[in-house]
Amino acid sequence: MFVKRRDFIARSGAGLCLAGLGELAAAQDFVEGKHYRVLAQRLPPAVPPGKIEVIEFFWYGCPHCNAFEPVLSPWVKKLPADVVFRRVHVGFRPAFKPQQQLAATLEGLGLFEQLQAKVFTAIHAQNVKLDRPEQIIEFVASQGVDKAKFTEMYTSFGVQTKVRQGEQLANAYKVDGVPAIGIHGRFYTSPSLAGGEDRPESEGHVAVLALVDQLLQRIRKGG
């Protein structure tokens, strides 16, 4: 139910609505070491005091990240005010760099909500090639974004720095496949871990978000 860092095996999957997420969170007993990992060394979250950081690690070319997006996006929109959600594109191999820069630029311009689903759709449903910087720049411009403004940030030192920081963060969380979720520098999980390898991918999507909700409550209570 996710693409592993080692082999990038692609298996198809479908999204699922969030109906019953609260009930699942209450009913399922998630087990440390099985459904999620506690980081051996806590990482400093990049959020102000009183806020909780949640990070999705993803890859635009991953079919499982594409299937997860329609479930994840409405969940993100309903997050409480004390949760800061971020997306970090992994850099498992050098060929990912142009898309890492794309993600970092969308974050910098505040365009994730507007374009994230469109990028996935272009790649996975429309067979649009977005592997090279010039392809990415032309695609984003076709979506009504100012081409010069996007290009300036896409090629900037700031975006290069953000890409390196994202790689360091993924390494610190020991991300071994995508999609995956890091919670406040303390916990790591994924649809595959939370749902189990033997369950349908759509169930893993719902399970992981229910688990994250549980971990958020645990953090709020000081646990």
Give per-residue pLDDT as tens, 21-61.
555 544 578 999 999 999 999 999 999 999 999 999 999 99
Q: Is 184 left (phi over 0), alpha (psi -120 to 50) or beta?
A: left
Structure confidence at residue 12 as a pLDDT band (50, 70, 90): very low
Instruction: Extract the tokens encoding 125.
Output: 């449903």
For residue 190, the surrounding DSSP H or E stretch is: none
pTM here is: 0.90
Residue 189 sits at φ, ψ, to 5 deg, of: -155, 180
Rounded Cα–Cα distance for residues 159 and 107 (Å)? 10
